[in-house]
Amino acid sequence: MLEVHLRPLVMSDLARVLEWSRDEAFCLANGWPVGLPAEQLQDWFVRLLNNPPVDLVRRGIVVTTPAYPAGHLVGFVDLRELNPLEKRARLRVAIGEEAHRGQGVGYAAGLKMLEQGFAELGLERITARVHSSNTRMRSLLEKMGFVLEGILRQHETRQGIKEDVYLYGMLREEFRPPEGIRLLESAQ
Ligand SMILES: CC(C)(COP(=O)(O)OP(=O)(O)OC[C@H]1O[C@@H](n2cnc3c(N)ncnc32)[C@H](O)[C@@H]1OP(=O)(O)O)[C@@H](O)C(=O)NCCC(=O)NCCS
């Protein structure tokens, strides 16, 4: 059984981030340029750690398994576009390699970040947006309890094809995590 934890990213995570940047599906889903040179990615990562945007909470997703008893970084989860006045933010979940996808990691990490957003940061609304072809992310959002609120038709071009973008939202009172999942980890 996997254990999933969230923690701040640190400089020694750079090697993993470089590995993920070579996964085209990951880059396309997350708006990263495909094939970005390692030096540019490193510059971006150093800036992110030293001078993080004030409206972003980003946490690394770490799994602990018999193969990785000390924990293994497999992706990250964000609350971005944090708006303290409106008490809202946008969720993003990204698992770096196909081998770690489809095992419940995104679900556990997403629930933990929702808990931090609603319980610790005092948010009242969390949104998400996903391309129509990303059925995995859409299923994940719906499993977490997000409500489909709208569709931006033919809104973004990906690999030469205009795609619809699905807009999801969850209000604080709609967050009902399943019992038996330990959620609270500090957002600080
Ligand atoms: C999308 C992503 C975050 C989902 O995380 P994950 O860890 O793979 O998903 P989980 O294993 O937690 O699965 C949660 C739910 O998603 C759905 N799901 C998982 N794998 C799926 C697949 N291959 N096809 C369709 N739905 C799938 C299921 O509803 C699943 O619930 P279930 O196992 O009870 O059926 C992850 O696959 C990923 O990072 N992909 C690449 C980048 C990306 O698309 N990021 C999103 C940007 S908006």
Per residue in 125-139, pLDDT (tens digit) is: 999 999 999 999 999
Q: How far is the CA of 85 from the centre of ligand 1 (A)?
A: 31
pLDDT > 60? residue 187: no
- Using an 8 Å Cβ cutoff, are 125 and 85 in contact? no
Q: How far is the CA of 111 from the centre of ligand 1 (A)?
A: 13
Closest approach atom of ligand 1 to CA 135? 25
Q: What residue owns the CA closest to ligand 1's atom 14?
A: 140
The neighbouring-strand residues paired with 9 are: none
Please provide the CATH number assigned to the domain covering 3-174.
3.40.630.30
Measured in whole angstroms, how far is the alpha carbon of residue 159 from the centre of its chain? 22
Sequence spans of domains, the chain: 3-174
Averaged pLDDT score across all residues of the chain? 92
Q: What residue owns the CA closest to ligand 1's atom 22?
A: 136
- Element at 28 (helix H, strand E): helix 24-30
Closest approach atom of ligand 1 to CA 142? 29
The neighbouring-strand residues paired with 94 are: 76
> Does the reported pTM lie above 0.85?
yes
pLDDT > 80? residue 180: no
| Among 100, 129, 140, 152, residue to substitute to test ligand 1 (most atoms within 8 Å of Cβ) | 140
Residue type present at position 80? R
**Which residue has 């059984």 as its token pair?**
1
pLDDT tens per residue, range 37-82: 999 999 999 999 999 999 999 999 999 988 888 899 999 999 999 9
135-144 helix and 105-115 helix, angle to the nearest 10 degrees:
50
